Homo-oligomer: A and B are copies of this chain.
Amino acid sequence: MKISALDPFAARRALDGVTTVAGLDDDAIVERYARVVWNVVTEPGDGVAGRLIAALGAAPALAVVEGGSVIAPVEGVSTREFAEGRRRWSPRLRSVDVDDALALARARGVELVCPDDPAWPHRVDDLGPHAPLALWVKGEAAALASLTPSVAIVGARAATSYGEHVAGELAAESAGRGIPVVSGAAYGIDAAAHRAALAVGGTTVALLAGGADRPYPAGNGRLIDRIAESGAIVSEVPCGGAPTKWRFLQRNRIIAASADATVVVEAGWRSGSLNTASHARALGRPVGAVPGPVTSAASAGCHRMLREFDAACITSADDVWELVGLEGDSSQRRSGSMDSRSRTDDASRVTDALSVRVWRGADDLARRSGMTRQQVEALLGVMLLEERVEHGERGWRLRFATS
């Protein structure tokens, strides 16, 4: 029997206890079941399946694949792509696999979240046809919906104690300020980030490359259980699925897509964390890297990001806030030597009239500060001596603050 021929009653029974069924009409139930089928038969990030489902809906798309006929023109899917896709999907198009995945999820307490559920993290929709078709969640599905804003903190498995310390600091301060921390539950940086977020009672979400029922790596099993207690363990791979290399790379795209910004704390020259950063960049999301000693191989990937990727240099939680697009305390710190307590009123007026980027002439500054040119120039002279301004051919500007 073709899977696409499943009646609404059987579909509802199969889904019940694993995902939302209440309030869904027969069409919605069949559509949701078909989405699970697609999730089971495809590997993560299958863009042809994504485009086919976007164009036709999951159930009609499934019927077309099972129908055996040549595809009618579908937006974004060529005949050749469809034929190749069908060859990829057919070997897995067995209802027993779908039923097994759902039964396993039910038995393990793993919830299925679909794009029309309230818990769906809509940031991942930016992946377009490569967005996950569904997410399997162990723990609090609501944590997924809380990821706006959020930050992904990732890094090397072979982390140093320096890297783990910094990852912990950044995660604790972020989670402590109410910014959930997304990571991959790997050894090293990922684990340090999750642990610190948990320690401050913050929200943390782990994306796994294998099934959400399979704690991986096994050595982090206890940590993964704790994450599920207050946050969520998430995977697009159905329960029982093994964490293959491909799935790790695709898992990285969901980490990048579900957070507002991605920060890499330590990474070797070719670390997989750079892959996550790549995905974030491809999505137009801000990317940051924590510097470290240039003598440390564990920081080489971060320095590479600073140099080749134009990643932001992250040295504190304030920088993370700024990266995520929130106001940190850094603006105050950044005002540099212009300590408001030590400024005279007149000097503040000149300071306010100055720019750090644009050169301004004394006349312009006089106009902007509402003072005479003579007053302005006298103050500029003092500020030049104090190294608070610089003077060039095109006028004056605020100096990068030094002692």
The reply to whether B275 and A387 contact each other, CB–CB distance below 8 Å, is yes
* Chain multiplicity (copies): 2
The reply to whether A307 and B313 contact each other, CB–CB distance below 8 Å, is yes
Answer whether residue A315 sits at the interface, using C-beta atoms and an 8 A cutoff.
yes
By a CB distance below 8 angstroms, the chain B residues around A316 are: 294
- Of B270, B315, B392, the residue contacting A403 (CB under 8 A) is B270
Answer whether residue A175 sits at the interface, using C-beta atoms and an 8 A cutoff.
no
The reply to whether A278 and B403 contact each other, CB–CB distance below 8 Å, is no
Q: Which of A324-366 contact B (CB under 8 A)?
A: 334, 336-337
Binds B, one of A22-30, A228-236, A394-402: A394-402
Binds B, one of A93-101, A108-116, A295-303: A295-303
| Chain A interface category by residue count | 35 or more
Binds B, one of A187-195, A198-206, A216-224, A285-293: A285-293
The reply to whether A295 and B162 contact each other, CB–CB distance below 8 Å, is yes
CA distance A394 to B326 in the complex (A): 31
Q: Which of A118-137 contact B (CB under 8 A)?
A: 128
The reply to whether B246 and A400 contact each other, CB–CB distance below 8 Å, is no
Answer whether residue A77 sits at the interface, using C-beta atoms and an 8 A cutoff.
no
Which residues in A have some Cβ–Cβ distance to B below 8 Å? 47, 128, 162, 165-166, 246, 249, 268, 270-272, 274-275, 277-278, 281-282, 290-295, 299-300, 303, 306-309, 312-316, 319, 334, 336-337, 385, 387, 390-393, 399-403
| Sampled A-B contacts (30; CB under 8 Å) | A162-B293, A162-B295, A165-B295, A166-B294, A249-B387, A270-B401, A271-B402, A271-B403, A272-B402, A275-B387, A275-B399, A275-B402, A277-B400, A278-B400, A278-B402, A281-B400, A282-B390, A291-B291, A291-B293, A291-B294, A291-B303, A292-B293, A294-B314, A294-B316, A303-B315, A306-B306, A307-B312, A307-B319, A309-B400, A313-B313
